[in-house]
Structure 1
């Protein structure tokens, strides 16, 4: 067994400042155990005794979780003690403490997961989170696609693998576009050997997905609805149970049906047993139903921010619920 902790190393200058502070305290002839200057660090999480064989998995899990985390700055600020009488002296920090709190949360998530019974499946093999973007618009580079690409880019910054799926291209190759309930339970006969079948297999692997649609007469596009009807077989297999879902919607008018379309997308996901989230994230706000925009989306000043918040929320909840999904797969 090894006694481990996870910490951020300090710069030479910061270590020198803390060491100088220790030297001042030593003048009071306090009976204490002092930390050598080269060993000073900023503690993130204490692990305790860990089996030696688990150390590579621990390192891999944290590395995966911290991938894409942007840099931030901290400085020394304040000091104090723990216990009565004092047993531990501490030196605090100031600066971008919100980002540091995010780092701590990611490390916590990694350790909660690594010591679960599914660690060998999802951590030691290095399998990352998969977040999908389903474009329900017939336009591959239209407003809805722009929203989805913003979301997927943010998910990648969080550390996820992503894939953009153009629904209309898959549906165009089907002879039987609409579900006619030809078999119960669904056998998938109408899409066997087609691009739709391939896409549905990708959906089975997803940890999270973001559905995107333009507003067509106050609801989702026909292409997306027809595609989602083809997911009946996935419902029988519980393939999307506890997959985390979010939605992005674009409309031609400011109040042109975005909210009703958002609700339709969410209901489609709920029928599959998915966990639906909105555009809220720690450090931002509690959020709303989803990210909505008025076309053209590049002239909407707030939409990119809301889409990024949504993507972070999808990633956060998807990561926290990996163990639950593993139970049904």
Structure 2
């Protein structure tokens, strides 16, 4: 079984809905299992993220999908604390060549969510990961997915506390399925590189 970790921070419940939808997409493929891993504020002490068990679970994943609400044009402070803690894995390259993708949610269509996606992309690049973008042409999708038009990652708009538009949810399901499918296709490549 290929494991896809979906690590996220949620304040209003919107990022949690998206994370669960990504996991749903991963689990549509027989040989993949999605695991939702929530970053809890209680795991941050004196500004440092301390949940080593969550990080260890991500070490065992073939792919990692990251999600955070957009606050002031970037990831939440809690998600940034997680990123800083995960950077301890930079030197030993244990996330090297893992697949990575990202999602975010903001309060409106022009809420600088792309800044959050870019932050996740740069973090993935620092860790030596391979970024998976969306592959949905927004104006040509018969289901209307990727309504925000962002190709770099999933950008959603909150409909209210814990409420996500159905099309954003469907886009998250698609992203999970896409990452899982690529994890299945690239696992031999990654194994060969690590040998």
Q: Which residue is equivalent to 1:206?
A: 61
Aligned ranges for residues 224-243 of structure 1 at < 5 Å? 224-243=79-98
Q: Which residue is equivalent to 1:136?
A: 9
| Superposition deviation, residue 162 in structure 1 | 1.8
1:273 aligns with 2:128: yes
| Superposition deviation, residue 263 in structure 1 | 1.1
Separation in 1, partners of 2:19, 2:164: 16
What is the RMSD computed on CA atoms of the aligned residues?
2.2
**Deviation string for 1:45-77 (max 9, x for gaps)?**
xxxxxxxxxxxxxxxxxxxxxxxxxxxxxxxxx
1:173 aligns with 2:43: yes
Note if contact 1:137-1:223 (Cα within 8 Å) is conserved in structure 2. Answer: no
1:309 aligns with 2:174: yes
Separation in 1, partners of 2:164, 2:176: 20
Q: Which residue is equivalent to 2:194?
A: 328
Task: List structure 1 segments (4+ residues) > 6 angstroms apart after TM superposition.
Answer: none
| Superposition deviation, residue 129 in structure 1 | 0.6
Note if contact 1:278-1:313 (Cα within 8 Å) is conserved in structure 2. Answer: no
| Superposition deviation, residue 298 in structure 1 | 4.3
| Superposition deviation, residue 233 in structure 1 | 2.5
Separation in 2, partners of 1:174, 1:221: 13
| Superposition deviation, residue 166 in structure 1 | 1.1
1:158 to 16, 23, 29: 29
> Which ranges of structure 2 fall in alignment gaps of 5 or more residues?
none
Q: Which residue is equivalent to 1:58?
A: none
Q: Which residue is equivalent to 1:291?
A: 154
- Cα 1:129–1:150 shift into 2, 3 Å: same
Separation in 1, partners of 2:59, 2:151: 27
Note if contact 1:218-1:260 (Cα within 8 Å) is conserved in structure 2. Answer: yes
Q: Which residue is equivalent to 2:16?
A: 145
**Deviation string for 1:23-51 (max 9, x for gaps)?**
xxxxxxxxxxxxxxxxxxxxxxxxxxxxx
| Structure number with larger C-alpha Rg | 1
Separation in 2, partners of 1:299, 1:320: 30
Note if contact 2:105-2:155 (Cα within 8 Å) is conserved in structure 1. Answer: yes
- Cα 1:163–1:301 shift into 2, 3 Å: closer
Aligned ranges for residues 1-329 of structure 1 at < 5 Å? 128-139=1-12, 142-159=13-30, 160-169=32-41, 172-178=42-48, 191=50, 196-280=51-135, 288-296=151-159, 298=163, 300-326=165-191, 327-328=193-194
So what's the TM-score if we normalise by structure 2? 0.83
Separation in 2, partners of 1:221, 1:298: 19
Separation in 2, partners of 1:255, 1:310: 21
**Higher normalized contact order (CA 8 Å, seq sep 6+, divided by chain length):** 2
- Cα 1:218–1:129 shift into 2, 3 Å: same
- Cα 1:173–1:277 shift into 2, 3 Å: closer
| Superposition deviation, residue 323 in structure 1 | 2.3
Note if contact 1:134-1:211 (Cα within 8 Å) is conserved in structure 2. Answer: yes
So what's the TM-score if we normalise by structure 1? 0.51
Aligned residues: 180
